[in-house]
Amino acid sequence: MSLSKDDMILGGLYWLRLLPGDSTLYPITPELTATYTAKGLKRGFCNHPCVIVDLEDGSNSQELKVFVCNMTSFDGRDLNERIRNPEIRQKYLSIFPKRPTDEHPGVQLELINNLCMKKEGYVNREAISVPIELLEAYTTSRRDTNHYQLDERSLNILREESGFPPLSSNAGPEEESLRNILLKMVEGCNVA
């Protein structure tokens, strides 16, 4: 099920679907490769969970896009096993309960309400722009009704690591929810 702007939550976890017509069961066609390239996507980023870190300025487009950071479990393997190059490992932050990485020893991202993802893993801190129609809500099973979202501290860490400014946080009753901040950003865009 596709999302609308009202479904988006800053820091929310979503599933980045494959492009229509693609299937991991078959080799990719040249036409699909061209479509991924035209959308600025890499096929390997799709069919994975991701987290929304910011909204793309949509003033020059009819397509609502968000910046997301891709997530991966590396098929259950540890980051140090999977990637030998420390410069590439530097791109990843761990999500609780995965232990912090050697490159970011004091950083472990966490979800609200003590939730855990289906698989332990990492977030690639390099944000990419994707149209929201490729996103759907992240769940761990068909019966799962939880909403998965980074806590505010973790979202601010990820935003800073991804080159976005941290969100301001006020301790008073005027504090805005992350959802309201994103909705205000969306309302400011010229999207049909």
Tokens encoding 21 = 């017509």
What is the tens place of the pLDDT at every residue in 105-161? 999 999 998 888 889 999 999 998 888 888 888 887 777 767 899 999 999 999 999
pTM of the prediction? 0.78
Structural contact between residues 162 and 135, judged by C-beta atoms closer than 8 angstroms: no
**Predicted confidence band at 172 (pLDDT cuts at 50, 70, 90)?**
very low
Higher-scoring residue by pLDDT: 2, 10: 10
